[in-house]
Structures are given as C-alpha cells and as structure tokens.
Amino acid sequence: MRSVVVMLAAGVAAHLVALVVFTVRAGTMPFTGLGPALSLAGFVLAAVLLVAEALARDVSLALVAAPLAAVVTIFANVTGLTPGRGADGFQGVWLFAHIGLSFAGIAAFATAAAAGTMYLLQRRELKSRRFGALFHFFPPLATLDRVNHLAAIVGWLALTLGIVLAGTYSVEYRQLNVPQLIWGTGAWLLVSCVALGRIAGGWQARRAAVYSSVAFATVLVLYVAFRFAGPSTGQFL
C-alpha cells in the first residue's frame, strides 16, 4: 500500500510543476479562468488527501477520494487552460489568498465527506457481520471518524477566511459575482453546520458522517446547477 502514497505524492509533485510552468508561460497565477482554476482545485484536493493520509496513516481514503481530484484535473484540461483576467499588486495578493483558502476549505470538506461515506459503508459491514472486501480494505471506524472530525473543522476555518476575504474584496474593488457569492455562502453554511455540530452540538460519528456526505453532495449539485444555468463566462463560476 505504500506504493499508493508514493504515486499520489508523485502526482501532486508533477501537478505542482505543471502549475508553475503554466504560471511562467501565462504570466499569471492559475486562479482565474475555468480550466486553470479547476486544475488548481484538483491539485489542492490531492495535496489535502496526501496530508490526511499522513495523519491517518491509512491509504484507503486516498484510493476512494483521489479519483475526484483526477476527474477535476481531467475536466480542467478538457475545458482548456486559458487564463482569465488577473490582478496585480496587493489586489492580486488579496485575490490569491481568497481563492487559495476557499479551495483549501472545499478540499478539506471533500475529505470529510469521503471519510464520512467510508464510515457509513464500514459501519454497515460491521452491522451486517458480512466482513467482506470493504471491511478489510477500509480503515477502522475510529480512524474515519477522526479524519471526518478534523477535516470538517479545517474546512470550516479555511472556508470562513476565504469567504471573509471574498466579501471584503468585492466591496473594496466593486467586483461582485452573484453566483459565486451564493454558491460560496451556501458551501460555508453547510460546512459550518457540520463543524459546529461536531464541536458544540455533540454530534456522534454516524450523524456527522451522514451530514458531511449529504452536505458535500449538495455543494457539488449546486455548482453543476450554476454552471449549466448561468452564462458561459470562462470562469470557475
């Protein structure tokens, strides 16, 4: 199983090199434009999964969730890596911080959802006493619950900072993207429910697993809905 970690680490490193090459050639960071932004999102998600693996010391989480990062990256290449309009100086740093924190928050939220889904499947195996392939492949329930707990809190903190920076950026530079605002706020509310439920609500493992899985699926559905319903702007949303 160590080969899985090596392969994921190599993929993250190669993706990082590709993003650096893109930045040098395009003369702008991959934060704007649909393709570059999705590519960055795929990289951040894979990097967060690598960290989760190191903390949980189990590779099965990456085997389940890494395909999502791969799909995002493939879709980024299919749509084309055409950079959007960037920003210079302090405005660019502000934009970089907002996008970076927001993507990190969504990636952590995805990790919490993956751990939650695996927890529910593993729990079902235990209750049915079948002890099939899933039982031997997935990590223990305690490990999945710990990853879900930590990832939900990290996702909430990062997305909170990202949303605050996005709101202040919109006010300061008078750039308001309504679909982004609605989707980002919706994602923040959902991850907030999961994180606060675990911290202050005393949610047990099963309840947190169900809510995190359903909440992240809702975030994905909302993103797809906004992409298809809105005009084609060539941006992430």
Query: Can you give the pLDDT at residue 227?
Result: 78
Q: Is 26 domain-assigned?
A: yes
What is the domain count for the chain? 1
Query: Can you give the pLDDT at residue 174?
Result: 78
Q: Is 236 domain-assigned?
A: no
Q: Is 237 domain-assigned?
A: no
Q: What is the mean pLDDT of the chain?
A: 82
Q: Is 163 domain-assigned?
A: yes
Global pTM?
A: 0.78
pLDDT (tens digit per residue) in 55-108: 766 656 666 667 777 888 888 888 777 776 666 667 777 888 888 888 899 989
- CA atoms of 73 and 78, how far apart (whole Å): 9
- Which residues span the domain enclosing 193? 2-229
Residue 177, CB-side half-sphere exposure with 13 Å CA sphere: 15
Q: What percent of the chain has pLDDT over 90?
A: 23
Q: What is the 3-state secondary structure (H, E, C) of the chain?
A: CHHHHHHHHHHHHHHHHHHHHHHHHHCCCCCCCHHHHHHHHHHHHHHHHHHHHHHHCCCHHHHHHHHHHHHHHHHHHHHCCCCCCCCCHHHHHHHHHHHHHHHHHHHHHHHHHHHHHHHHHHHHHHHHCCCCHHHHHCCCHHHHHHHHHHHHHHHHHHHHHHHHHHHHHHHHHCCCCHHHHHHHHHHHHHHHHHHHHHHCCCCCHHHHHHHHHHHHHHHHHHHHHHHHHCCCCCCCC
**pLDDT at 201 exceeding the cut of 90:** no
**Residue owning tokens 């967060």:** 48
Query: Can you give the pLDDT at residue 53?
Result: 73
Which among 165, 167, 195, 160 is positioned nearest to 181, based on CA atoms?
Answer: 167
Q: Is 234 domain-assigned?
A: no
Q: Give the CA distances from residue 37 to residues 6, 77, 80, 115, 174, in Å, rounded to whole numbers and listed in that order.
A: 25, 11, 11, 25, 21
- CA atoms of 48 and 154, how far apart (whole Å): 10
**pLDDT at 129 exceeding the cut of 90:** no
**In this structure, are residues 29 and 23 in contact, taking their beta carbons and an 8 Å threshold?**
yes
Q: Is 67 domain-assigned?
A: yes
**pLDDT at 29 exceeding the cut of 80:** no
